[in-house]
Amino acid sequence: MAAASASSVKETLPPALGSASQPPTVFDGTTRLYICYFCPFAQRAWVTRNFKGLQDKIKLVAIDLQDKPAWYKEKVYPQGTVPSLEHHNEIRGESLDLIKYIDSNFDGPSLLSKDAEKRQFADELIGYANAFTKALYAPLMAHTEVSDEVVAALDKLEVALSKFSDGPFFLGQFSLVDIAYVTILERVKIYYSHLRNYEITKGRANLEKFIEEMNNIDAYTQTKNDPLFLLDLARDHLKIA
């Protein structure tokens, strides 16, 4: 399958641009995805682009968020967050909107099922992704113990993963829903293991299998960071403990 092989191409990543860097020639017709290599939200758009084999059509521009260039907010995306996508001379942001936009407006394998029941479940789960993220990060940022909300949120995913039996992913087959959750799961798995001695996959066989299967998808593995690096970064910047 051409698209699958394109998604497994190992890409040389561009250096992250800092405050001393020049901006790209914005609105010159090039399609650009602005990301930060460590951001879970940017990673969602990056995985989507990779899986669809769009490495040549969507150019990555990495921003150094620790030394953020002023031009990013001034010339590219007034909200100043990553990810953002420059396409047809317009800028769009918000990772959950962007992954849907990239899926619908570019070539490559579709990342949403045509099945009505699966589509409805996809909307439901993508709609829950922000609440899930908040529930999981809250005790880490407040320096409190694993809460009932954390357990309930993880159990909800475990149950969701059992809904369709035609594969290990949320809709059975790989989709945008998996992309919406995996980058958050990648991080909270590390944080809870190291900081709370709590294994999020323990007693949750579907979640364990899901993470294992995700780790066979090149489009995703190429975007992963070293676990201890992510932990240090979150300790420093999110003040999690």
Ligand X SMILES: N[C@@H](CCC(=O)N[C@@H](CS)C(=O)NCC(=O)O)C(=O)O
Residues that bind ligand X (CB under 6 A): 36, 39, 41, 65, 68, 80-83, 93-96
Give the β-pairing of 90-93 and 84-87: antiparallel
- Nearer to ligand X (CB atom), residue 6 or residue 17: 17
Which string of DSSP letters, residue by residue, matches 53-100? T-TTTSEEEEB-GGG--HHIIIII-TT--S-EEEETTEEEE-HHHHHH
Which of 174, 197, 196, 200 has its CA nearest to residue 185?
Answer: 200
- Nearer to ligand X (CB atom), residue 90 or residue 145: 90
- Nearer to ligand X (CB atom), residue 24 or residue 80: 80
Q: Closest approach of Cβ 16 to ligand X, in Å?
A: 13
Alpha helices, DSSP H only, in the chain?
2-7, 40-51, 70-71, 95-105, 116-141, 148-160, 176-196, 205-214, 218-221, 227-237
Q: Closest approach of Cβ 33 to ligand X, in Å?
A: 12
- Nearer to ligand X (CB atom), residue 157 or residue 234: 234
Q: Closest approach of Cβ 28 to ligand X, in Å?
A: 23
Rounded Cα distance, 237 and 163, in Å: 37
Q: Closest approach of Cβ 63 to ligand X, in Å?
A: 8
Q: Closest approach of Cβ 187 to ligand X, in Å?
A: 10
Report how far Cα 119 is from the mean position of its chain's Cα atoms: 19
Q: Closest approach of Cβ 83 to ligand X, in Å?
A: 6
Rounded Cα distance, 24 and 14, in Å: 12
**219 close to 173: Cβ distance less than 8 angstroms:** no
Q: Which residue has the tokens 């959750």?
A: 181
- Nearer to ligand X (CB atom), residue 94 or residue 213: 94
- Nearer to ligand X (CB atom), residue 81 or residue 113: 81
